[in-house]
Structure 1
Amino acid sequence: MNPQWQFPLEALRQTPSTVSIQDEMSRRQRGIDWLMRMGATLNMGLGPCLTGATYFHRFYMRRMLEDYNELEIAATCLFLASKTEENGKRLEDVVTVMLAKVHGIPPAEVAGAYENEAKSLEHLVLTYEEVLLEVLCFDFDVRYPHTYLADIIATYDATSPDPILHSLIDCAWSVAHDSYRTPLCILLPPQIIAAASFLFAQCLAEGPNSPSLTERLEVANSTDTRWRQVLGISENDVQQVAGK
């Protein structure tokens, strides 16, 4: 991943937006929720949605929320991601789904009731796409923590009837997915997010008697090194997991 897209934590307090950091995080979350819901309705699959979410967080490191509405940028990021991930969706379909959600009606009813609004929004998305391409510097490379999680999970027996194991796998996947509601994907490498998701899921899956995160890191740093070996991460990387 291009290092220009990994930011220090303090950069979140220095974004172009002038709203409070609490408001910015809330609006980022709102935009991502919107993007994911649209992607699900369009049957786009996980990859394009995660790519669109990454574009979204990158965009607002260089542009102001006050100038670009998060819901409109979410739709634009999803539309671009559908192309870069070779899951192309027609602009008309993306806009139809967006307006259906805005007005709380079935997508089939949008064309007749909101034709003019749809045309206006299509033009806006195309305009914003040009801005998005400029902000991204035409760099479309995105990597997901889910890829690294799959590598960890592959070292376990997926056919095992152990309910804790299956709960662990489901939980780790959900944690990694939900991390996109925050800007974590532009703060840490995907393998670090995968490690954090896996360790956090272990704590949740094993219940109140589960070892603490600190204890788990100490063990993982000495005897149980399976997940570290799979991810190829160092002791410094482990400290990042503990810190985030």
Structure 2
Amino acid sequence: MSIQSKHEENYNQDRVKSQKNITSPAEYFEGVIDVPVYDWLFTMEQIQRESPSRRLTNVKQRIGFTEECQKRAKGIVYLFACNKQMKLSRCVALTASILFHRFYMKRDFTNYHYFEIAATCLFIASKSEECRRKLSDVVKVCASIALTGRMSNKVTEESKIYWKWKDVIVNLEELILEVLCFDVTPVNPYKICFDILDLSEDDDNSNDEHEDKLFSTCTNFLELLSRLPLSILFPVNVICGLGLLLSCASSEVQLPSNAFNKLQISREEIWRSYCTAMKLAQSLESLRQPFPILSHIPKLNHKSAMGIGENVDKDGGDEN
């Protein structure tokens, strides 16, 4: 059996399992929709014990916390691969990753395949971030990468798999919008980091080289961290602060003056998010590359985290 055939067989087997007990999106749109408001933040205990994937009526269909973390990571890696192939901004992928993690706090992994949810979240995010792509292009890219791991000429508008994926994305878009209460424009850590570093979008070379490098490194860490469900455990400014802290730790550079004050967070909050990230990252270590991230995250202790990137003002005092 070829690698492509094996990919397709494994995906189709998972998808068949995922089609059981799925409620039609149309059933959610009868009459006026009463849209509740969520802050979308949960405790670790809620994710570990109360995730929909551990509350299924059929005990045999339930999955453990570690397996859920692994499926989340696989979905996000796939999402970023599709995002890159479509030449979308990382900002779009980060927004899509937030929607992805939120969705699985309302629905389970057994009935909703993470490739299909990730693809649909990316399609929604491309519209909410005003970086639209044609549905046909999204379908071709997402179907190809899901089935073969790369772009394939076999996914054309005449192929059965194209129409199968098109129907999936169209139907899931309605469901995801309803599940997320149409809240598809979450605050994006990419944008916060951009603003904190006072970067300019103009191509006039006005940005400081040091801050450009810090921003690039930070977005790399934000992409890695998005594989973990941190966005439903911590406020976005804390995650952004963690990205900046790890950037400083890896490149031994200073943060801009008052960076954490602008984020309105303390180093202790960032330290707690770091400890949580390291704990969650352990669950990915049994996976093959490229899913594990532990080796890419600087190893810190409490003392070093309190001083990394520290900037001293003209009066000799710390920024914090």
TM-score range, shorter chain: 0.7 to 0.9
Q: Is the 8 A contact 1:145 1:190 kept in 2?
A: yes
Matched residue type, 1:111:
T
d(CA) in 1 for partners of 2:217, 2:149: 31
Label 1:231 to 1:107 Cα distance change in 2 as closer, same or farther (>3 A): same
How far does residue 169 in structure 1 lie from its aligned partner after superposition?
4.0
Residue 42, structure 1, aligned to residue 74, structure 2: no
**How do 1:1-244 and structure 2 match up within 5 A?**
3-13=38-48, 14-17=50-53, 18-101=62-145, 102-103=147-148, 106-111=151-156, 115-154=159-198, 158-159=207-208, 168-206=214-252, 226-233=258-265, 237-244=266-273
Task: Give deviations 1:24-80, integer Å, cap 9, x for gaps.
Answer: 111101001111111111112122211111111010001010000000111111111
How far does residue 168 in structure 1 lie from its aligned partner after superposition?
4.2
Mark the structure with the bigger radius of gyration.
Answer: 2
Q: Is the 8 A contact 1:151 1:230 kept in 2?
A: no
TM-score (norm 1): 0.80
d(CA) in 1 for partners of 2:177, 2:79: 18
Label 1:104 to 1:230 Cα distance change in 2 as closer, same or farther (>3 A): closer
Task: Give deviations 1:134-162, integer Å, cap 9, x for gaps.
Answer: 1101112311222222233339x9545x6
Label 1:118 to 1:148 Cα distance change in 2 as closer, same or farther (>3 A): same
Aligned residues: 221
Flag structure 2 segments of 5+ consecutive residues without an equivalent. Answer: 1-36, 54-61, 200-205, 274-320
d(CA) in 2 for partners of 1:15, 1:117: 31
Relative to its length, the structure with more helix (as a share) is 1
Q: Percent same amino acid among aligned pairs?
A: 29
Q: Is the 8 A contact 2:73 2:228 kept in 1?
A: yes
> Which is worse superposed, 123-132 or 60-69?
123-132
* Alignment partner, residue 284 of structure 2: none
Q: Is the 8 A contact 1:99 1:118 kept in 2?
A: yes
Q: Is the 8 A contact 1:167 1:205 kept in 2?
A: no
How far does residue 132 in structure 1 lie from its aligned partner after superposition?
0.5
> Which is worse superposed, 58-67 or 122-131?
122-131
Label 1:170 to 1:88 Cα distance change in 2 as closer, same or farther (>3 A): closer
Q: Is the 8 A contact 2:194 2:215 kept in 1?
A: no
Task: Give deviations 1:90-120, integer Å, cap 9, x for gaps.
Answer: 22211111222223564444217x7112111
TM-score (norm 2): 0.62
Q: Secondary structure at the match of 2:234?
A: coil
How far does residue 226 in structure 1 lie from its aligned partner after superposition?
1.3
Label 1:168 to 1:83 Cα distance change in 2 as closer, same or farther (>3 A): closer
Label 1:67 to 1:241 Cα distance change in 2 as closer, same or farther (>3 A): same
Task: Give deviations 1:153-191, integer Å, cap 9, x for gaps.
Answer: 339x9545x6xx765443222112221111111211111
Label 1:159 to 1:91 Cα distance change in 2 as closer, same or farther (>3 A): closer
* Alignment partner, residue 213 of structure 1: none
Label 1:84 to 1:172 Cα distance change in 2 as closer, same or farther (>3 A): closer
Label 1:168 to 1:159 Cα distance change in 2 as closer, same or farther (>3 A): closer
Q: Secondary structure at the match of 1:67?
A: coil
Label 1:117 to 1:198 Cα distance change in 2 as closer, same or farther (>3 A): same
Flag structure 1 segments of 5+ consecutive residues without an equivalent. Answer: 211-215
